[in-house]
């Protein structure tokens, strides 16, 4: 069933809350269809299978309509739902022995500290322009794909890049760039600092960018090397 057919704006939180608490099915269907795709992706970052993620989303919705009377409106309704989801998904991830160390144990913290662009692309310390792009290594403009086949090709590249990310990168990237959350909300949801959040986000974006660069670079042949 395609749950993305209706995209009218949602009623404001206070209205939604009252309607959900009263058992208004139309209101439930609205939020269920609107928020479940993002919840599914988020859950997938904490558990090992797609089926397990689907169960987490289901469990979350059950908890939501059981607890809706206790929602006090101190955060947005969606943030409240996402927090329940993260709690539920983490609990299950622990059961599946798949926990995400957000701040990183030592080796991971170290791996969060290096450069995000291959240092060999920059001129060395003895060069008159140290730290600048080496000839032929400067990023070249990408030609945005126009036809649908290429768009789906780019999505496949991005999907592969996402799958290859460490989970703690992917979860931040999903929330910020796929779900469109602000940094404050992401920090609150995941219990991380603004600085940590930015490091994880930057490293995640840099890795996806690199995959796209490989893809666009290969698509455009050697144009890059002539600069």
The residue ranges that bind another protein (CB under 8 A) are 1-4, 21-23, 25, 28-29, 32-33, 36-38, 40-41, 54, 57-58, 61-62, 65-66, 115-117, 119, 122, 129-133, 137-142, 144, 154-155, 158-159, 173, 177-178, 180, 183, 194, 198, 201-202, 205-206, 208-209, 212-213
Q: What is the nearest approach in angstroms of another protein to the Cβ of residue 199?
A: 9
Q: What is the nearest approach in angstroms of another protein to the Cβ of residue 158?
A: 6
What is the chain's percent helix, strand, coil content, to nearest 5?
65, 0, 35
Q: By the 8 A CB rule, do 201 and 173 touch?
A: yes
Q: How far, in Å, CA of 189 to CA of 175, rounded? A: 10
Secondary structure (DSSP) of 92-126: HHHHTT----SS--HHHHHHTTS-SS-GGGB--TT
Give the C-alpha distances (Å, rounded to integers) separating 71 from 58, 80, 105, 200, 201: 19, 8, 35, 31, 30
Nearer Cβ to another protein, position 83 or 205?
205
Q: Environment class of residue 70 by beta-carbon count within 10 Å: exposed (0-12), middle (13-18) or buried (19+)?
A: exposed
Nearer Cβ to another protein, position 104 or 179?
179
Q: What is the nearest approach in angstroms of another protein to the Cβ of residue 140?
A: 6
Nearer Cβ to another protein, position 68 or 86?
68
Nearer Cβ to another protein, position 87 or 209?
209
Q: What is the nearest approach in angstroms of another protein to the Cβ of residue 91?
A: 19
Q: By the 8 A CB rule, do 182 and 78 touch?
A: no
Nearer Cβ to another protein, position 48 or 116?
116
Q: How far, in Å, CA of 17 to CA of 11, rounded? A: 10
Q: What is the nearest approach in angstroms of another protein to the Cβ of residue 154?
A: 6
- Both structure tokens of 86: 């993260």
Nearer Cβ to another protein, position 16 or 57?
57
Q: What is the nearest approach in angstroms of another protein to the Cβ of residue 189?
A: 17
Burial profile 75-110: b = 16 or more Cβ within 10 angstroms, e = fewer: bebbebbbbbbbebbbebbeeeebebebebeeeeee
Q: What is the nearest approach in angstroms of another protein to the Cβ of residue 66?
A: 7
Nearer Cβ to another protein, position 90 or 176?
176
Q: By the 8 A CB rule, do 171 and 189 touch?
A: no
């Amino acid at each position: 069933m395609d749950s993305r057919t209706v995209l009218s704006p949602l009623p404001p939180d206070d209205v939604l809350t009252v309607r959900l608490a009263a058992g208004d099915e139309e209101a439930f269907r609205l939020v269920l269809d609107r928020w479940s795709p993002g919840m599914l992706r988020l859950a997938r970052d904490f558990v090992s299978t797609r089926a397990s993620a689907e169960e987490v989303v289901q469990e979350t919705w059950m908890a939501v309509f059981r607890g809706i009377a206790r929602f006090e409106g101190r955060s947005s309704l969606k943030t409240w739902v996402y927090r329940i989801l993260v709690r539920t998904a983490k609990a299950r991830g622990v059961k599946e022995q798949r926990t995400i160390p957000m701040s990183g144990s030592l080796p991971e913290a170290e791996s969060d500290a290096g450069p995000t662009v291959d240092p060999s692309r920059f001129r060395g310390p003895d060069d008159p322009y140290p730290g600048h792009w080496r000839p032929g290594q400067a990023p070249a403009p990408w030609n945005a794909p126009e036809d649908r086949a290429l768009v789906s090709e780019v999505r496949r590249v991005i999907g592969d890049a996402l799958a290859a990310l460490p989970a703690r990168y992917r979860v931040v990237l999903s929330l910020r760039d796929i779900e469109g959350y602000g940094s404050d909300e992401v920090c609150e949801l995941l219990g991380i600092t603004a600085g940590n959040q930015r490091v994880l986000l930057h490293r995640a974006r840099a890795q996806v960018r690199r995959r796209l660069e490989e893809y666009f670079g290969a698509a455009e042949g050697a144009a890059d090397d002539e600069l």
